Amino acid sequence: MTDDQLKIGDAVAPDAPAAVRAGRVLFKLRGLVPVPFVILLLLFADPRPWSWAVGLPLILLGEAGRIWGVGYTGGATRARDLRAKVLCTRGPFAYVRNPLYLFNAVIVLGTVVIGAWWPLIAFQPLFYLVYYYLIVRYEEQFLFAEFGEDYKPYAAAVRRLLPRLTPYPAKSGREFRLRDALRNERPTITGQVVILTGLTVVDIVLAAHDAGGLGELLLRLLT
């Protein structure tokens, strides 16, 4: 990647739309954004059998989708700055331009459903819809600049987050590599296992104390 290309991926023009500037900030903070939600989830979660039955399959579906996508992109999606050697239109990218964000949203939804705290179930999907839209706007400026003539027809034919029914016909990018996918997905899988372990512990503790959430239990213990 040239210095000019790195500048395009790491900065925005002064007259760039507000959505693009906000997307740049959120892109840099994307590893920290989930933290407050995880804390709220663990404090107010009240897992039930139905919530595990609904939420866990959603998480598995989302993670399977991420492995499918990362198998085509490799570790570039985990970089702190925007980078891409080739435009990937294979695998899930043939159906939707941002499949990893779409599958992330499925994982998030499954996780908050397990927690069974309705305010978070209602709010978090709306937040992530806006959050990913802003990041996508920022990423698109780089992709248009980097892949111009190849990206324009792709962007016109394949939507941001709503999958099309048939695959995009022009294929570019590398073939699927399962070993790379599993290696690059290790942080995501590990993080999700930690959260699910936390929810399991919360479930056990609440059942033992007949409480409706850790917040309620803490108040009970302090008063």
Q: Looking at the predicted structure, is the pLDDT value of residue 195 above 90?
A: yes
What local confidence, expressed as pLDDT, does residue 93 receive? 96
CATH class of the structural domain 3-222: mainly alpha
Q: Looking at the predicted structure, is the pLDDT value of residue 5 above 60?
A: no
Mean pLDDT (whole number) for 62-78? 88
Name the least confident of 69-83, 152-166, 178-192: 69-83
Mean pLDDT (whole number) for 68-94? 83
User: What's the longest Cα–Cα distance across the chain?
Assistant: 66
What local confidence, expressed as pLDDT, does residue 209 receive? 76
Tens of pLDDT along 164-181? 999 999 998 889 999 999
- Report the alpha-carbon distance of residue 145 to residue 1 in Å, rounded: 13
Q: Locate 42 and state its tokens.
A: 């663990």
Tens of pLDDT along 109-167? 999 999 999 999 999 889 998 999 999 999 998 898 888 888 999 999 999 999 999 99
Dihedral angle over CA of 87, 89, 92, 95, nearest 10: 130
pTM for the model stands at 0.86
What local confidence, expressed as pLDDT, does residue 12 receive? 61
